[in-house]
């Protein structure tokens, strides 16, 4: 077997994405993994410009490894991260020089790292939540007692004044703000640690229906129609009913806020045998909460579970953080689909086993 045949055998047999490109951005060789990533045959790729094939551009990409190599004399191997469609690819480029040290092409080896990057982001997110939870608990304890003292002294002063007195009215405003801060502290404590769990085998529909009854008046006044699509054959799950009620209260309240002119709130339940996601592969009971409200901007979607992230002047930004925390402590998972102007769908998966 000749050297060329051995080279081609290795080139085409590599599981990673491999390509050979000249300094004019023309693709000279691609392997099977490259073809699979782009869903194009080798014949469609070879002889064409890489920026046209990869990204349908008319000129070299700004992050082009060939462009970077050409601008640096005697450039050595370097890793870059590029986007190809919805995938992130870690690309190691190896410049090829001729006998005179002139750059004549680039040999590229790429690996899809979309999943790894997402897992890393989730890990960082969980670490941030853990640190913020500890900080929230510390802050809450430090503020709670002095705040209670302010509230008691305010009430004591109000009892000594006539209700028509202007100072009485001012003190009333102070008391309202104290109560608001106390609610915020309660939210912080719930986020830091939702408290002891009392889990039992239960029908997931019970906390849903209980929450809907509590919010019935608010739903009616907001002109929101509730549509239920329950699968009554789903198995019971091991949950803390009061904590799950807290989850649904936050979700339904968000939907109500997202439909200021009225709308429809749809709640579906089902059992899912296949994987809910990569973190939850076993059989799950699935609850979907869907509204046709204002939706969420694309740039905000990655932050909605972050503590104190809120686009509402009335919100504390802790509601969905607490929801995520409670679901996580149930061994479950949550996902969100939304588009600005087209409503939001939040789906929860709780493991059956």
Q: What is the pLDDT of residue 346?
A: 92
Pairing relation of β-strands 333-338 and 27-30? unpaired
For CATH 3.30.565.10, list the domain ranges present in the chain.
200-351
pLDDT > 60? residue 1: no
The CB density around residue 287, as the number of other CB atoms within 10 Å, is 26
Kindly report the CA angle at 46 between 14 and 113, in degrees rounded to 5?
40
More confident residue, 82 or 317: 82
**Over pLDDT 70: what percentage of the chain?**
70
What confidence tier does 264 reach under pLDDT thresholds 50, 70, 90?
very high
* Distance (Å, whole) CA 71 – CA 77: 14
More confident residue, 108 or 278: 108
200-351 under CATH 3.20.20.110, yes or no: no
Q: How far is residue 351 CA from its own chain's centroid? A: 20
**For the whole model, what pTM was predicted?**
0.51
* Distance (Å, whole) CA 94 – CA 65: 9
The mean pLDDT of 262-276, rounded to a whole number, is 85
pLDDT > 70? residue 333: yes
Q: How many residues does the chain have?
A: 353
- From the number of C-beta atoms within 10 Å of its C-beta (0-12, 13-18, 19+), residue 100 rates as exposed
* Architecture of the structural domain at 3-112: 2-Layer Sandwich (3.30)
Give the pLDDT confidence of 196-255 residue by residue, as tens digits: 678 899 999 999 999 999 888 889 999 999 999 999 999 999 999 988 988 998 899 889
Question: And the tokens for 229?
Answer: 């699509």
Q: What is the pLDDT of residue 66?
A: 60
| Residue given tokens 């409200």 in the structure block | 293
Give the pLDDT confidence of 10-63 residue by residue, as tens digits: 666 666 778 888 878 888 888 888 887 777 888 888 888 877 777 777 777 765
For CATH 1.10.287, list the domain ranges present in the chain.
117-192
Give the pLDDT confidence of 164-203 residue by residue, as tens digits: 788 888 888 888 888 777 776 666 666 556 566 788 999 9
Q: What is the pLDDT of residue 328?
A: 85
Match domain 117-192 to its CATH number in 1.10.3470, 1.10.287, 2.60.120, 3.30.450. Answer: 1.10.287
* Distance (Å, whole) CA 323 – CA 321: 5
* Distance (Å, whole) CA 34 – CA 249: 48
Please provide residue 205's backbone torsions phi and psi, each rounded to the nearest 5 degrees: -70, -25
Alpha helices in 289-339 (DSSP H): 319-329
């Amino acid at each position: 077997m000749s050297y060329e045949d051995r080279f081609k055998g290795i080139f085409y047999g590599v599981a990673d994405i491999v390509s050979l490109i000249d300094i004019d951005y023309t693709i000279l060789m691609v392997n099977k993994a490259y073809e699979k990533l782009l869903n194009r045959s080798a014949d469609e790729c070879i002889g064409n410009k890489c920026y046209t094939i990869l990204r349908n551009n008319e000129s070299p990409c700004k992050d082009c490894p060939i462009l970077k190599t050409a601008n640096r004399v005697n450039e050595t191997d370097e890793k870059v991260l590029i986007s190809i469609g919805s995938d992130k690819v870690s690309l190691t480029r190896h410049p090829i020089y001729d006998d005179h040290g002139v750059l004549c092409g680039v040999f590229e080896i790429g690996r899809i790292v979309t999943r790894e990057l997402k897992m890393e982001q989730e890990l960082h997110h969980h670490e941030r939540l853990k640190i913020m939870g500890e900080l929230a608990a510390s802050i809450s304890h430090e503020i709670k007692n002095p705040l209670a003292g302010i509230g008691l002294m305010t009430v004591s002063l109000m009892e000594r004044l006539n209700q028509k007195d202007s100072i009485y009215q001012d003190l009333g405003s102070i008391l309202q703000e104290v109560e608001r801060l106390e609610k915020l502290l309660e939210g912080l404590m719930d986020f830091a640690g939702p408290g002891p769990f009392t889990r039992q085998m239960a029908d997931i529909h019970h906390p849903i229906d209980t929450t809907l009854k509590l919010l019935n008046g608010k739903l009616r006044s907001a002109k929101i129609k509730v549509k239920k699509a329950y699968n009554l054959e789903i198995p019971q799950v091991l949950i803390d009913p009061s904590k799950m009620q807290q989850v649904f209260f936050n979700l339904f309240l968000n939907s109500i806020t997202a439909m200021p002119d009225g709308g429809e709130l749809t709640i579906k339940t089902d059992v899912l045998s296949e994987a809910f996601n990569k973190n939850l592969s076993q059989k799950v009971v699935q609850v979907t909460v869907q509204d046709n409200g204002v939706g969420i901007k694309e740039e905000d979607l990655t932050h909605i579970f972050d503590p104190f992230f809120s686009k509402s002047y009335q919100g504390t930004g802790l509601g969905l953080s607490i929801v995520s925390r409670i679901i996580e402590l149930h061994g479950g998972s949550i996902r969100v689909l939304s588009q600005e102007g087209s409503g939001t769908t939040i789906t929860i998966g709780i493991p059956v086993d």
